[in-house]
Amino acid sequence: MNTRFKIMISTLFIVTSISYAQKSNSFDIKNELVYCVAQASKTLKVIPDDGTSPRSVPNGSKEWKFVNYKDWTSGFWPGELWYLYEATGDKKWEKEADKFSRFLTPLSVTKASDHDLGFQIFNSFGNGYRLTKNKEYKNSILKTADTLATLFNPKVGTILSWPNNKYGGHNTIIDNMMNLELLFWASKNGGNKKLYNIAVKHAETTMQNHFRPDFTSYHLIIYDNETGKKIKGITAQGYSDDSMWARGQAWAIYGFTMVYRETKNPKFLDFAHQLARVYLNKLTTEDLVPYWDFNAPDIPNEPRDASAAAIVSSALIELSSFTKDKNLKSEYLTKSKKMIVSLSDYYQSRDINSAFLLHATGHKPAGSEIDCSINYADYYYLEALLRLQKLK
Ligand code: GLY
Domain range holding 379?
26-391
CB distance 219 to ligand 1 below 6 Å = no
CATH for 296 = 1.50.10.10
Q: Is the CB of 238 under 6 A from ligand 1?
A: no
Residue 109 carries which side chain, given as an amino acid letter?
Answer: V
Domain count, the chain: 1
Nearest atom, ligand 1, residue 376 CA: 4
Give tens-digit pLDDT for 208-227: 999 999 999 999 999 999 99
Mean pLDDT over 363-386 rounds to 98
Query: What spacing in Å lies between the alpha carbon of 52 and ligand 1's midpoint?
Result: 19
Mutate to test the pocket of ligand 1, among 237, 245, 292 (most ligand atoms within 8 A of CB): 237
Q: Is 55 a pocket residue for ligand 1 (Cβ < 6 Å)?
A: no
On the question of pLDDT at 165 being above 90, the answer is: no
Q: Which one of 98, 116, 287, 293 is the catalytic residue?
A: 116
Q: Mind listing the pLDDT tens digit for each residue in 29-44?
A: 999 999 999 999 999 9
Residue 6 lies in a domain: no
Rounded Cα distance, 373 and 261, in Å: 30
Structural domain includes residue 325? yes
What single-letter amino acid sits at 275? L
**247: Cβ below 6 Å to ligand 1?**
yes
115 Cβ closer than 6 Å to some ligand 1 atom = no
Is there a contact between 140 and 121 (Cβ–Cβ < 8 Å)? yes
Give me the chain's average pLDDT, please.
94
SS (H, E, C) the chain: CCHHHHHHHHHHHHHHHHHHHHHHHCCCHHHHHHHHHHHHHHHHHHCCCCCCEEEEECCCCCCCEEECCCCCCCCHHHHHHHHHHHHHCCHHHHHHHHHHHHCCHHHHCCCCCCCCHHHHHHHHHHHHHHHHCCHHHHHHHHHHHHHHHCCEECCCCEECCCCCCCCCCEEEEHHHHHHHHHHHHHHHCCCCCHHHHHHHHHHHHHHHHCECCCCCECCEEEECCCCCCEEEEECCCCCCCCCCEHHHHHHHHHHHHHHHHHHCCHHHHHHHHHHHHHHHHHCCCCCCCCECECCCCCCCCCCECHHHHHHHHHHHHHHHHCCCCHHHHHHHHHHHHHHHHHHHHHCECCCCCCCCECCECCECCCCECCCEEEHHHHHHHHHHHHHHHHHC
Asked, for residue 168, whether it belongs to a domain, the answer is yes
Ligand 1 centre to CA of 6 (Å) is 40
Specify the ligand 1 atom closest to the Cα of 119.
Answer: 1
Answer positive or negative: Cα dihedral of 351, 355, 356, 360. negative
Residue 116 a catalytic site member = yes
Task: Assess if residue 10 is contained within a domain.
Answer: no
Q: Give me the pLDDT at residue 15, please.
A: 36
Query: Do 56 and 375 touch, CB atoms closer than 8 A?
Result: yes
Decide whether any atom of ligand 1 lies within 6 Å of the 175 Cβ.
Answer: yes
Which pTM value belongs to this model?
Answer: 0.94
Domain membership of residue 7 (yes or no) is no
Q: What is the pLDDT of residues 41-67, one digit of tens each?
A: 999 999 999 999 999 999 999 999 999
CA–centroid distance, residue 26 to ligand 1 (Å): 33
**From 49, 50, 71, 175, active-site residue:** 175
Q: Is residue 3 part of a domain?
A: no
Residue 129 lies in a domain: yes
pLDDT of residue 26: 78
Residues 124-156 have pLDDT tens digits of: 999 999 999 999 999 999 999 999 999 999 999
The Å distance, Cα 118 to ligand 1 centre, comes to 13
Q: How confident is the model over 284-304, as a mean pLDDT?
A: 98
Compute, in angstroms, the gap from residue 217 CA to the centroid of ligand 1: 14
CA distance linking residue 161 with residue 37, whole number of Å: 34
Identify whether 236 is part of a domain: yes
The whole-number pLDDT of residue 327 equals 98
Nearest-atom number in ligand 1 for the CA of 307 is: 4
Q: How far is the CA of 322 from the centre of ligand 1 (A)?
A: 26
- Say if CB 210 and CB 217 are below 8 A apart: yes
Q: Is the CB of 362 under 6 A from ligand 1?
A: yes
Burial 219-250 (b: 16+ CB within 10 A, else e): bbbbbeeeeeebbebbbbbbbeeebbbbbbbb
Give the residue, by CA position, lying nearest to ligand 1 atom 5.
362
